[in-house]
Each structure stands twice: as structure tokens, then as C-alpha cells.
Amino acid sequence: MKFLLWCILLVLCWPLALAALVLYPLVWLFLLPFRLVGIAVEGALGLVWAIVTLPARMLRAL
């Protein structure tokens, strides 16, 4: 889908399409640390949730 949109952009405005082609990897590299922080925060919150709900799960298992 992204490739099809890029091809349409190439036909309509080729300088913008080439700029997007060059800038896409740079933006991806810039956003990579934020994705890693998001994964770490999601894991930490999942651990806290598991610890908080552990007593209820233990009581339900009995």
C-alpha cells in the first residue's frame, strides 16, 4: 500500500516523492529510540499489572 501511494506521489510531484524516499529511513532511525522506550515501558507496566493482580489470580485458582 505504501509503495502504491509513493508511486502516485511520484507521478504527481516527483521532487516530493524523492525527498520522501530519502527522508523515510532518517525519520525511522530518529523514531527508533522512542519505539524502544515504548516497548520497555509496556513491559514494565505489564509486570506491575501482573504483580498487582497476582493475589486475585491465586484466589481464583483455589
The answer to whether the predicted template modeling score (pTM) of the entire model surpasses 0.75 is no
Instruction: Check: CB of residue 44 under 8 Å from CB of residue 30.
Output: no
**What is the average per-residue pLDDT within 35-57?**
96
* Helix, strand and coil percent figures for the chain, each rounded to 5: 95, 0, 5
Q: Which three cell numbers stand for residue 23?
A: 527522508
- pLDDT for position 30: 96
| Average pLDDT of the segment spanning 15-43 | 94
Identify the pLDDT of residue 53.
95
Using the Cα atoms of residue 45, residue 46, residue 48 and residue 49 in order, give the sign of their dihedral: positive
Q: Could you identify the residue written with the cell 500500500?
A: 1
Q: Are 47 and 55 in contact (CB under 8 A)?
A: no
pLDDT at 11 over 90: yes
